[in-house]
Each structure stands twice: as structure tokens, then as C-alpha cells.
Structure 1
Amino acid sequence: MPGPPDGSAAEGGGRGGLPRALSGLTTRGRSFLAAGAAAGVCSYLLGQPDLLRVAALLVALPLVCVVVVARTRYRAAGGRRLTPTRVPAMSQARVVLRVENVSRLPTGMLMLQDRVPYVLGPRPRFVLDRVEPGGHREVSYRVRSDLRGRYPLGPLQLTLCDPFGMCELTRPFDDSDTLTVVPRVERLPVVRLGGDAPGYGDGRSRVLALAGEDDVIPRGYRHGDDLRRVHWRSTARYGELMVRREEQPHRARCTVLLDTRRTAFPGEGPDSAFEWAVTGAASVVVHMLQQGFTARVVTDTGSAVPATWAMGAAGGGGEASEAAGVLLDALAVVERSEGTELSRAHEALRGDTEGLLVAFLGELDEAQASSVARLRRRGGTAVAFVVDTQEDGTAVEGPLRVLRTAGWSAVAVRPGDLLPELWRRAAGVDARGTREAAR
């Protein structure tokens, strides 16, 4: 017999005694008791014995249901299977609930209910018919969120009720799961980024893996080593054949600066400028990881997301997918900051002397733009996407001029712009793949 879905299993039952069963009277059951009591009083006041029989029936029916539910003994195991556990925003995930009767007696009618946050949709409820001993039932529902974040699912609640709906007993299970809604990732074209820095010469393009210098410490010769790698000076010194160590690859780096200042991004919701910036940062880091770069995200607060570099692999292999998952999980819970300056980001990136720098920025004044402009290292490549918060486009003219003068490839982002096109524009490439003339 197949086991329950992945996740912790729990047991439930109708045990709890008469006091617990009485507290589980439904509105219908309480109404029957009230009507029976009223009929009994009327029977006494009016002297109608037939009305007393009706009162006894109205009172007895819910009480009998309470006794039946209280004496019901069953053991049920429940579980949940969430597929997948990580979904992009505006995508659906499927939840499968499984209830198994592990007792020797059949159950009555059961009501299954799962707790979900309101942003994922209405709370799912299912009515299950009688479950035979050793049998199980599976039901499923779908959840969808337009907002990124981590959302708890559960605990699962199993409600035992009588056929007349007079009494219900709810027993929660102790299992729960977490659905992670990550930012959407847009596929970016493979282009060669480069910046022109006035006074510094042409910017250098970063390759995927640069061959480093040989390790100066030789090692002993091993069968199969290339004789061309024999280190003759060490061989003469130690009296045995020594070879140079293999070249150690040096990975190119990419840092994505994400501006999270609340004052820099007006508006709320999944279509806001800030959510566009988070989506852009997620798309760039995933793209660079697939190209073999090591990548990280740094916010205006100076904190890295995650705290260490994520290592990619050319071709988007398993290593790149795992690293991308770590970054996306971290970006799923990035919130807006209450800061107004970018000085902490400048301090966090002060020690970086190499690698590609991509910034997603909100509203800037020229002083803040000058602070960002100093983040670009001599001869390095830096790209900035500045969100235009004004419809006339005048808000970004000054910051763009400051960034471009410092050698940045700065692009204004306006409502409706597509990130792949902006990525090409930052590299100076048009939609046909030809390089545009420098402006």
C-alpha cells in the first residue's frame, strides 16, 4: 500500500469525551437544542403533552449525535505533497492531500481543510465519504501568488461529523510545508558587455574563466603526468622528478547592486517599479551563473544576498541551478529599506577591484548618482538600469549623465520596457544583434 505524501504524518481521532463533543455542536445542533427547550417550556405552560414529545425528539437528536461522535474511535494519518516547492511569481503549485485510515474501523463522513495564507487563494475544503479500514483518499488543489515570499501551508485539519450535521470534532495534524514564491526570471540574450571610460581607455570585457598562474609549489611526479610540466630546478634540488601543479581556473565575478530604498520606488504591488527591479536582479544573476560567473546581490543596506558568492557553471548545469536556487530563495524575501542614501553599498563594494557590476537603481539625485559612479573600478565594466519615476523622463537625465561620464553603461527604464531589450541596449547591440554606434 503506498505511503502518505512527503512530509510529516500525524494521527487524529474522535477521542475527547463528551465535553469536547458538546463543544463541537454545530449551529444546526444548537438550534435543535434551543427549539427543543422552547417546545418543552411551551408544553408546560400550555398543558400540551404532545408538544412535550416533539421537544424530547428535538433535544434527543443532537445529543445522540454527540454521543455517537464522541464514541467514534479511529486513527488517521495525513500528509501533504507540494509540487514544486519553489515557483516563480504568478505561477501555480499543486498541493496533494492524503488521508489514510490506519484503524480497524471505518470512519464516518470527514471534512478535510488546509490552512493557506489569503494571498494564495481561498482556504480549500473537501468532504470525504466513509473511508474503509486501511484505505486512503487523495484530494488536490492549486495555489498561486502574484507576490514573492515564503508562505506556510498547514496545518491540515480533519473534521469528523455525523450524518445530520449536528456535531463536528476537529483534530489538527502537526505537519506543515513552505511554498517559496521567487521572482520571475526573464531569459537574457548572450551579449558582450563593455563600458567606455573617458580618460581610462576602453573597458575590459570579462571572460568566463581565465587561466591563472601556475602554483609555485611543485609536487612529486605521478604516473601519467605530462613530462612537459617537469620542474627541472626542483627536480635537481630534491633529487626526484617534480612537476608543476595544474593551472587553477580563475572565475570571473558579477555583482548585482539592488536599490531597495522605499523612497526610490513609488507604488506597491506586483506591477510596481520595485518588483521590476527585483525581477531584473534575479534575471541577471541567473544569466551570469549560467555563463560560468560567480555572482552575488548587494543591496543599498550593504548586505549581500546571500552572504557568500554563488558559483555558476557554463551551460547552466546542476551547479548553476543549485546556485541560482539559493539566490532566488534569498531574493524572494528581500524587502524595502527605510534608508535614503547609498553610502552603505559603497562601503560594502569598496574592496571589490574586479568583476562586472550591474546596478538596478530607483530615483536618484546627482549626489547619489556620483556616489554610485565611484563604485566602478578603473578599466572595469559597470552597467546601470535607472528606473524613470517621471512620465516626462526628466528625472533620470542628470543621473544618467553623471554615470555615463564615469564610464558606466547607463540605461533609463520606462514603463513597458522589456528587460532583454534593455540588456541589449546596455551592450550597445540592437535587436538584430549588430552593435550600435556609441552615443
Structure 2
Amino acid sequence: MRAGATRPTARGWAFCVVGLLALVGAPALGQRDILRIGVLLLVLVLVAAWSTHRAVRTLELVSRSKDELVEAGVTSTVRLEVLGRAGAGVRLVLEDAVPLALGGTARLPVPRLREGETLDLEYRVRSEVRGSYPLGPASVVAGDLFGLVRARRVLGTPVVLDVLPRVHPLTELSLGELGGTRGSSGGASAAAAPDDASIREYRVGDDLRRVHWRSTARRGTVMVRLDEHPGRPDVVVLLDTREGAHRGRGAGSSLEWAVSAAASATAHLQRRRHRVRLLHDGAYDPPSELDETSAARGIMRSLARLGTGARDGLARSVTELGRTEATLLVAVLGDVDEDDVAPLLAARPLGVPALAVLLRTGDWASAPAARARGERDDRTGPDRLDRARLVLSRAGWRTAVAGPEDTVPQVWARLTRLDARSDHPSSPPPAREVPS
């Protein structure tokens, strides 16, 4: 039904047709009783149309609220507050347009309300897949007791609900244990004064708030601090989102696993007061000028809305990484070979510990659901993945390989344990952890 329309139902149209036939045929047949029945049927439809059209004008949507951050697989509540009057003789239902991924349109019956009374209504939504979903607009639908006419009126405007990727609890991580030369946030809490901070020459794109004016005046060229907040290291999470670098579909795809891993690492490090920036498709997200709280939410919202990127997205991200100062680098990579990861070696800041998760994307294409769809992928294999891992490991990176049967916490634990550096790329993966 068109928004704001008042229309007869199938039963109402039947009443109209029978009533018109009675009006036309009764005089010819000389049947006054049939004429009266025809008039009665048409009057019933007209009264129903008047009452329903009037009823939908009596309600207004006062407010709509939803959870600020919703994680995939978690049930969330949407609340609607309406104001107005709902009398007897008409059934009122508040409908809120909801995508099928969240459960489909919500229909909330409105009980009788006195003039000026408010009513709180709520319903629950849940999505197994991250994404950005529209909610609304809400509509009030009125129907008469005989089911002859329905009237609809739109209330309010749509809003967007961001369903964040799944965030898993991860094991503790200390930068000192990774062999970095810049220490962890805990160990650097008693940092030097700003004048003692490491500095370098200004580069195009640097935040002007990081200019070190004393050194600039002394050297005659613009100098900037490497770390704006000593003891609060910058962490770069590089996410490979290239089109063609991932396999599978929906919640069971390698891209969703990678996004969940990036979200888990980001949340884990942010809770330990690291400043985290997300690098994907050649750009950082969010911008560096945001405060820490806004930056944390911005990264999660970006991950919720993130799709596949350009085919050269990884190369552009590596180029951008080469211009960045960081204290820790975490890379989640899709389908790569030694040529793809070789530029990472030069882009990695000197002395910075680096972690890399390499996905066996071919296994996602060989998963049962993919096999049922007849999908095959012969482009990825263990040999090229092992060569890529070997290149990174020989350069001092800690690496771990993940498949669809692995969970994010298990891979993170393998990646950050103290003897991870000694794992050989071609050796079989460690045994899965069994909960005690």
C-alpha cells in the first residue's frame, strides 16, 4: 500500500461491487430490499474509510532509540515512543520497516490510548552478519473492525543501524615480549617530556599539531614529533580487503573472518590504551584528528560498513604504511604470495614488531557450503602461502596461518606466544587448544 493511502481491502472491494450491482439491478427487478442492502454495503465501506483515515492522523512518533553499538550475533532492542489517541472501533498497528537480515518488518499493536497519552513500544533485532542496515520509516496502519478498509500514514524518517563485526577476547600482548625497540604502553608510562620526544622532518600530510616548535626554530626547518603522546604508541592494523583476495560468501567468508580478526585486535589494543589506526585500501580510518573515543567507534563503524576494495588496495596500503611511524604493526592478509608481501618488508618501520595473519583462502572456497554451490578455487595453494610466510618470517615478522576451522583467539594465541618466531612456515600447524 502506498504511504499515506486509504484503500479498501479485498473484502471492501467485494462489498463495493455487490453494493453497486444492487443499486443498478434492484430498480430493474423491483426489489427494494436488495436496494437497501446495496446502500448498506456502500455506506459501511464509506464509514470504514472515514474512520480509518481519521484514526491514522491521531498518532505521532515522538522518539526512536536504538543501541549505539550492536555486535553481530547479539540481540538488540529498538524502542519507539508514540503520542496521540487510539479509540475503539479501529485497530491500530505501528509497523517499522526492518531488513530481512535483521528479522523483517516489525508489527506492534497499539492499545487504546487517551488523548495526549504516550506509549512505549519495542522490538528486537539480530543479525548474524555485520553491515549497515536501514531501520524505518515507521508507519501507522489503521483497519476497521470488519476488515473493509486499511489506511496507512508514514511517521518519522529512516535511521541506520550499524551491526559491528564479532569481537573475540584475545590473550594479553606485551610489545616488549615481541622484541620491539620502543617498548609497550605500560613500560613507557613514565615517558619523557615533550621536548625529549623523538622528532623528524615534516612530511606532507602530517598533523600540524605535532609540530615541535623549539626544534623547528633551532634547525630552521619544520620538525614534528614521532609520537604525539609519549607512552601511548600508535598501532597500525592493516587489513587486506582486495577484490579477489577472499573466498566464500556471507558470514562464512574469509573476508568476514579477516574483519572479525581486525576488529578483535583493534578492541584488544584500544582497551590497553594503545592508539590504533586502521589501514585498508590505501587509506587510514578514522582520520588522525579524531579524539580517542571517537576514533575507537569510528574504526568499528568503518569495519561494519566495509566491503571489498580495489585490486591494488594492498599495494596502496603498503605505500601509505611506508610514510607512517608506528610502534606495532598487525596485518591481516588474504590471498597473497611472496611478491605481494615483499613490499611490506621495506614499509615496516625500523625496529617495530610486526604480526601477520595469512588466510588460507582456498579453504574457504573448499568449505562444505561452497562445495554445495559448486565453487572451486585452484588459484590458491599451500605452496605460495608458505613462500609468502617464509619471506615475512625471515624478515622478523611473527606469522600465523588461519583457515575456516580456526577461531580468531586460537590464531592470536599462536601468533603472540613467545616461541612463535621459531615456527617454520612449512611445519604442520600446532594442535588445536582443547578447553579444560
Task: Name the SS of the counterpart of 2:195 in structure 1.
Answer: coil
For residues 280-322 of structure 1, the C-alpha deviation after alignment (integer angstroms, 9 at most, x for no partner) is: 11111111112221110101x211111227776xxxxxx5xx5
Equivalent residues of 1:79, 1:99 under 8 A apart:
yes
Instruction: Determine which structure has more spread, i.e. the larger CA radius of gyration.
Output: 1
Unmatched runs of 5 consecutive residues or more in structure 1: 1-19, 197-201, 217-246, 313-318, 430-434
Matched, 1:336 2:308: yes
The answer for the alignment partner of 1:64 in structure 2 is: 47
Bigger mean CA deviation after superposition, 185-194 or 114-123: 185-194
Question: How far apart, in 1, do the equivalents of 2:27 and 2:361 lie?
Answer: 78
Of residues 164, 173, 177 in structure 2, which corresponds to 1:191?
A: 173
- Segment drifting more, 274-283 vs 75-84: 75-84
2:131 maps to: 149
1:277 aligns with 2:266: no
- Measure, in 2, the Cα distance between the counterparts of 1:277 and 1:179: 22
Letter in 1 for 2:71: P
| DSSP-derived class of the 2:361 partner | coil
Q: Name structure 2 gaps, 5 residues minimum.
A: 197-227, 364-380, 424-436
Q: 1:302 aligns with which of 271, 282, 287?
A: 282
- Tell me the amino acid that sits aligned with residue 274 of structure 1: L
Q: Does 1:405 align with 2:394?
A: yes
Q: Kindly provide the CA deviation profile for residues 171-227 of structure 1, in whole angstroms up to 9, marking residues without a partner as x.
A: 21124433221111111111335798xxxxx653631036135638xxxxxxxxxxx
Shift of 1:80: 4.2
> Are 1:295 and 1:310, in contact at CA under 8 Å, matched by a contact in 2?
no
Q: C-alpha separation between the residues in 2 aligned to 1:394 and 1:149?
A: 34
- What displacement does 1:426 show? 1.6
1:335 partner SS: coil
Match of 2:296 in 1: 324
Whether contact under 8 Å (1:66, 1:167) holds in the other structure is: yes
Structure 1 residues 132 and 213, CA, compared in 2 at 3 Å: closer, same or farther?
closer
Residue 75 of structure 2 is aligned to residue 92 of structure 1: yes
The 5 A counterparts of 1:285-434 are 285-299=266-280, 301-308=281-288, 323-340=295-312, 342-391=314-363, 393-429=382-418
Letter in 1 for 2:254: A
- Paired residue type of 1:249: P
Q: Percent identity?
A: 32
Q: Which amino acid aligns with 2:12?
A: G
**TM-score (norm. length: structure 1):** 0.75
How many aligned residue pairs are there?
369
8 Å contact kept, 2:53–2:142: no
- 1:330: how far off? 1.9
Q: Are 2:206 and 1:206 equivalent residues in the alignment?
A: no
Q: Write the distance in 1 (CA, Å) between the matches of 2:54 and 2:167.
A: 55
Task: Verify the 8 A CA contact 1:195 1:382 in the aligned structure 2.
Answer: no
Is 1:263 aligned with 2:244?
yes
Per the normalisation by structure 2, the TM-score is 0.76
Q: 30, 40, 62: which is aligned to 2:13?
A: 30
Secondary structure of the 1:374 match is helix
The structure whose residues are more often helix, as a share, is 2
How big is the alpha-carbon RMSD for the aligned residues of Structure 1 and Structure 2? 3.0
1:277 deviates by 0.6
- Counterpart of 1:397 in 2: which secondary structure? helix
Deviation, structure 1 residue 138: 2.9
